[in-house]
Structure 1
Amino acid sequence: MAYKSTAALSTATHVGILPRQSWLKRIITMFDVRKTRLDLAHLSDEQLRDIGVTREQVETELQRPVWDVPNNWRRH
């Protein structure tokens, strides 16, 4: 499906009719999310304080499934 204007793309995005990502891209994104969360878990308490995250928040983040990410994290 080709979009002819930015307004049409914006409207399509808003109503959720854009084509879905390929399965390969989704799997790669899931691996990236998991690696990022594990990297976060390896930060020291001092480093976590520097970025404004508590150890408890990290533990909560690690419990989330790999597909549970904010929409703005998803690659399009």
Structure 2
Amino acid sequence: MSTAVRASAFNEPERPKNLQIRFTTIGGAFVDVIGLGEHRMNRWTCRGCKDSSRFPEEDYLARIREKANDHAAACRAIPLT
């Protein structure tokens, strides 16, 4: 049995302005954390299932990072573009 890591079959999309972090979902889509860094006004958006954070005006990077990573770890949606 091979233990080699398989490269994603999907290409990484263009990086939006103010991209802070990008996670890969189980399905191969990407979850982008966009915002101003440590300050408020950060949000995450999944490019697979199109879900996103609910209250970006309240989200500091330290809090939203965990939420975005949790979503990426559970989301099985694949990129449609």
Q: Verify same fold: TM over 0.5.
A: no
Q: Given the two structures, how large is their TM-score scaled by the length of structure 1?
A: 0.29
Q: TM-score, normalised to structure 2's length? A: 0.29
Whichever of the two has the greater Rg, that structure is: 1
Q: Report the structure, 1 or 2, having the larger strand content.
A: 2
